Structure 1
């Protein structure tokens, strides 16, 4: 059994790694001058994996944020030409969000920045260590979720 102090140390290491990943990704994004925040990047990636354009409420649920946070993100991305609001064909009162061509191009740039950042972060690891890390991360990601509260952005 793991001692509580070592669990606390592991949690701190995970938080420090997460911050490092964000810092490095941000640096790689700044070199590409996309003018997209990490939260907007996350929304674009979520849109890209959706089959048909989702409603804002669907996005809020998937992103685990309050609907107002999605409205703010969509407003910024729409002003930048990365997404657009479109009426639902079955119910004109429902508004859906879809990627524009500029949004898809931005996603390609974002993927490149993420890939470059990942290469930098993982460079010290051997292929075997990367495989072990991937397995451990999958175990943690797929673990029980307490579902405590929603993020606000």
Structure 2
């Protein structure tokens, strides 16, 4: 293996470990009540700032509509999202966060932030900014 491939594998492994810690922190916060997929739905609805059609939600998540329907079913049963008819298309259904969904999302985000802040405390403020800049470049933002 060449050195760039070794570096790529090492970086991929390190990033995987960081993501696993973030997910574990979420599970510890809520037990098994909110999965990573459910968190993604809640976060996507929050970022949209409005109710979304199931098809829009699925597209934004990069999943098939049937999968989105299953996740929304579970979130609705837990009282974290609510469905409503689309006033512009009676065949479509809109999904939006409930107050409980917003509360859990806020709590989970804070827990994830705290876990990341704990990890980042090992770095100087300058190193943290360098890491953020490099990750933004890699993310293409």
Fold conserved (TM > 0.5)? yes
Partner of 1:76: 74
What is the CA distance between 1:75 and its match in structure 2?
1.1
User: In structure 2, which of residues 117, 133, 138 is the aligned counterpart of residue 140 of structure 1?
Assistant: 138
SS of residue in 2 equivalent to 1:103: helix
Instruction: Specify which structure has the higher proportion of strand.
Output: 2
Partner of 1:149: none
Contact 2:75 2:81 (C-alpha < 8 Å) held by counterparts: yes
Instruction: Specify which structure has the higher proportion of helix.
Output: 2
Give unmatched runs, 5+ long, in structure 1: 144-153
What RMSD over aligned residues (CA atoms) do the two structures have, in Å?
A: 1.8
Contact 1:28 1:116 (C-alpha < 8 Å) held by counterparts: no
Alignment of 1:108-127 (within 5 A): 108-127=106-125
Please report the TM-score for the alignment, with normalisation by the length of structure 2.
Answer: 0.88
Count of paired positions:
140
Please report the TM-score for the alignment, with normalisation by the length of structure 1.
Answer: 0.82
Distance in 1 (CA, whole Å) between partners of 2:49 and 2:30 is 28
Contact 2:27 2:34 (C-alpha < 8 Å) held by counterparts: no
Give unmatched runs, 5+ long, in structure 2: none
Out of 20-29 and 104-113, give the one that drifted further: 20-29
Partner of 1:8: 5
What is the CA distance between 1:59 and its match in structure 2?
1.1
User: In structure 1, which of residues 30, 35, 57 is the aligned counterpart of residue 55 of structure 2?
Assistant: 57
